[in-house]
Structure 1
Amino acid sequence: MRISTDALHPLHLAALLATLWLTACGGLPERTDYAAAAKADVAGVSAWSALDVGTPSAHLDELIRSPELDALVAEALTANPDLQQTLLTLEILRAEQRRTGAARLPSLEAGLAGDKGEDAGTSYTGSLTLGWELDLWRKLSDEYRAAGLDVAEQQALYESARDTLAAEVMQTWLGLIADWHAVAIERRRLATLAKNEQFIIQRYRNGLGTLEDLASARTSTASSRANLESYEESLAQHERQLRGLLGRTDAAPIATLADYPEVGLPLAEMPAQTLARRPDLRAAYLAIEAADLRTSVAYKDLLPRIDLQAALTDVARSPGEALLSDPVWSLLAQLTAPLYQGGRLRAAVEVAKLKTAQAYQAYRETLVDAVTQVGDALGQERSLAKQQTHITTALAAARNNLAQYQRSYRTGLVDILDLLSVQQSTYDLEAQLDELRFQRLDNRIALGLALGLGVSE
């Protein structure tokens, strides 16, 4: 219905607003406070078994002190296309928020129309209309706040993407060093096997060896060459993977180190402090708040609304005189209330409530993943440290054993199969130890990411 300004006596308007307020209060039922439930879930996380040692670190890239790696991380944060798409999504949501905020402000429209009659000639009607929806129930404010939470959520997701990308660059860079080590170990193995093969051939020519010894040596040599090809291709694939993270399309060489750098062990703090730092968990919580506000907006769409409109019109003989000669003012207030729309608004309320519940479950999933990641990384640090100690002891013993077998073989006390077996075991342990070193350093980066350490600006 439409109400003229004469009818809006102050007492009448006050009574009307009071009626609408009571209607609104009765039309907004209680809703589940999922945000409070999310906070309770975090408070209920049990303290994980922290490591005995650890270095306090503010940022993920502080775990490795390497100018070469710092340059690669900076390049990836600037040129990675996936990260740039995430940043553009953030800018789009900021523009969406500005558009949503414009609905709270008055709108002003100007119009000019011409009417040509048979006798009176052409007349021009100019108009200037000011429209404004009164935000009685703060519905428009809730929409604007929800859009602001969307921006904050995307900002947190962008930070999470930055941190994840930096960790992937760091881990892939360490993986290149591990690949180079694997290639170097296999080349030394191959050189040893080739030397053994030549030695066996010489013994065979001198009548001291057998064809079985020669076949065994050649089998081991061929197998090592196949492994070397595999390791070299793995190295090339990881180089291409790192170039992809950097956003490169060329084949320019990537600077690495000859040996593993020192990787700090991040300090595992209490769950509340750790989880509060994780941007993905913060984004999931903001999604709950935004969905809850949109549920409120859906409820308020069921309530009456008041629109005010002020218009200035004038009719003149020329366009230049329109709105300048003798304009007429009019002021209207319009009260509208939804009566029947086939259940569309009620269905919208139900959809909004379900989306809020869905956002809460997504938060719980993120929380469970975060707790699992921290627990796995802490457990891996302990396990890999023990494995590294055991394999180091085993390798030292294997090298002593290999030296004894080499002396025994030269004097004819053992055959070639025994020597080859001990050589293979020694090289296998050396490769296993290097792989454990890489896994432990790689896991420390994963632990830092799980603990919410972000990359520095």
Structure 2
Amino acid sequence: MVVSVFLPASCVTKPGAYAKNPNKDLTIPKRYDATTAPVPDVKSGLLALFPDARMRSYVNRALASNPDLKASAARLEEAGFNLRKAYAPLIPSLSATGGAARSDVFIGNTPISNTRYTATLDAQWELDVWGRIRSGLSASAGDENAAQADYQAARQSIAAQTMQAYFDLVAAEKLLGLTQRRLASFQKTYQLVNRRFEAGTGNLGDLDLARTDVENARAQLSQRSDSRDQAARRLAALTGSYPSAKSSASNWPPLQRGVQEGIPSTLLMKRPDIDAAYQRIRAADARVTVAHRDLYPRFSLTASGGNQSNVLKDFVDANFNVWSIAGNFTAPLLDGGSRRAELGAANA
């Protein structure tokens, strides 16, 4: 029988022990630079802490097969196209039209036929006098930056979940192995106590206690085995595999380097989820400007040039060319309060 005795322990610190140098073990940099370190990618940031080939394989499989990450990538691509669309009004638009028409006019019983061929190029350009278009471009740029940050946050979240599942599996396998060795030790102890009891040198109480230890260890071994299988299934589900208990992770991954301490709160902007929220605020602010500028008149220039002729071969003749250029503006007068409502919604 083994008896363990635990004694309470306490520690006493002399007054003034740290008064001379309270930051003796803390290295504080002379300055912080929050502008030169971009948000690290998963491969260059999180995984760099643990150079473990098996864990990297699990993380890469999770990043390649996760449907939420694919949806985030699709939203990022959509935001990129919307940004290109928002930039388009800043440059003139050009369109081409062409046609052919034939008409007959009867004067008495005499028909007079007329055929006309037309081909024109039309250009239009809205002058961004109030900055409405540029504000819309800023809003779309903020949306794209937010989508980029969301995508990066999704990658880091999936990688972190996969690494946590890997650590849980390692811990479960370590505990399972420890419980197996513990059971083997109790079984050996039971055999020794049983031989002593059969030889008449032991007592029934020791035998019952040894048998109880074996049964408790077996029950704990079953629980440890279930926990190990659950951790393996969770890791398999994260990596896009069939949820089975075949995943394995036997050793703790080595820690390549420590995490820097003493980071100021301004570096929280390096977190992609916080950066995404900040970019959405900027986009919303730009949309308020767009809604406000939409109350002002719009100025635009239009120009067209082409050819009109009754004979198709005369299209190359400069004598039949026509052109026009004009400037115009439109101002909202009555719209049922639509623009005011959009401004109120943007400010909400």
Equivalent-residue separation in structure 2 for 1:200 and 1:335 (angstroms): 103
Say whether residues 1:90 and 2:84 are aligned partners: no
1:310 counterpart residue number: 303
Shift of 1:55: 12
| 1:282 partner SS | helix
Say whether residues 1:101 and 2:95 are aligned partners: no
Shift of 1:72: 3.7
1:61 counterpart residue number: 47
Say whether residues 1:116 and 2:102 are aligned partners: yes
* Gap change, CA 1:330 and 1:252, over 3 Å in 2: farther
Say whether residues 1:173 and 2:159 are aligned partners: no
Equivalent-residue separation in structure 1 for 2:316 and 2:339 (angstroms): 41
TM-score with structure 2 setting the length? 0.74
**Any residues of structure 2 matched to 1:55-454 within 5 Å, and which?**
59-118=45-104, 119-199=112-192, 202=195, 209-210=203-204, 220-249=213-242, 256-259=249-252, 261-262=254-255, 264-317=257-310, 321=314, 326-354=320-348
Q: Is the 8 A contact 1:315 1:323 kept in 2?
A: no
Shift of 1:138: 1.3
Q: Is the 8 A contact 2:307 2:321 kept in 1?
A: yes
* Gap change, CA 1:254 and 1:343, over 3 Å in 2: same
Amino acid at match of 1:346: R
Deviation sequence 1:291-320 (CA, Å, 0-9, x none): 111110000111100122112254333566
Deviation sequence 1:103-128 (CA, Å, 0-9, x none): 21111111123323223144333332
Shift of 1:323: 7.8
Bigger fraction of residues in helix:
1
Moved more, 247-256 or 278-287: 247-256
* Gap change, CA 1:237 and 1:213, over 3 Å in 2: same
Identity, in percent, stands at 32
* Gap change, CA 1:215 and 1:143, over 3 Å in 2: same
Deviation sequence 1:136-184 (CA, Å, 0-9, x none): 1111111112211222222222222222233223222222210111111
Q: Is the 8 A contact 2:287 2:346 kept in 1?
A: yes
Equivalent-residue separation in structure 1 for 2:198 and 2:245 (angstroms): 49
Equivalent-residue separation in structure 1 for 2:329 and 2:315 (angstroms): 31
| 1:99 partner SS | helix
Equivalent-residue separation in structure 2 for 1:221 and 1:252 (angstroms): 26
Equivalent-residue separation in structure 2 for 1:241 and 1:54 (angstroms): 40
* Gap change, CA 1:195 and 1:103, over 3 Å in 2: same
Deviation sequence 1:411-456 (CA, Å, 0-9, x none): xxxxxxxxxxxxxxxxxxxxxxxxxxxxxxxxxxxxxxxxxxxxxx
Shift of 1:198: 4.4
* Gap change, CA 1:318 and 1:216, over 3 Å in 2: farther
Equivalent-residue separation in structure 2 for 1:190 and 1:62 (angstroms): 38
| Higher relative contact order, structure no. (Cα contacts within 8 Å, ≥ 6 residues apart) | 1
Amino acid at match of 2:281: I
| 1:302 partner SS | coil
Equivalent-residue separation in structure 2 for 1:307 and 1:289 (angstroms): 28
| 1:306 partner SS | strand
Equivalent-residue separation in structure 2 for 1:291 and 1:218 (angstroms): 70
* Gap change, CA 1:323 and 1:223, over 3 Å in 2: farther
* Gap change, CA 1:319 and 1:241, over 3 Å in 2: farther
Q: Any stretches of 5+ residues in structure 1 without a counterpart?
A: 1-48, 355-457
Q: Is the 8 A contact 1:54 1:267 kept in 2?
A: no
Equivalent-residue separation in structure 1 for 2:189 and 2:240 (angstroms): 46
| 2:278 partner SS | helix
Equivalent-residue separation in structure 2 for 1:217 and 1:323 (angstroms): 109
Shift of 1:237: 2.6
* Gap change, CA 1:267 and 1:71, over 3 Å in 2: same
Equivalent-residue separation in structure 1 for 2:25 and 2:184 (angstroms): 43
* Gap change, CA 1:202 and 1:109, over 3 Å in 2: same
Q: Choose 1 or 2 for highest CA Rg.
A: 2
Deviation sequence 1:237-262 (CA, Å, 0-9, x none): 32232233334459796563435634
TM-score with structure 1 setting the length? 0.58
Equivalent-residue separation in structure 1 for 2:27 and 2:224 (angstroms): 34
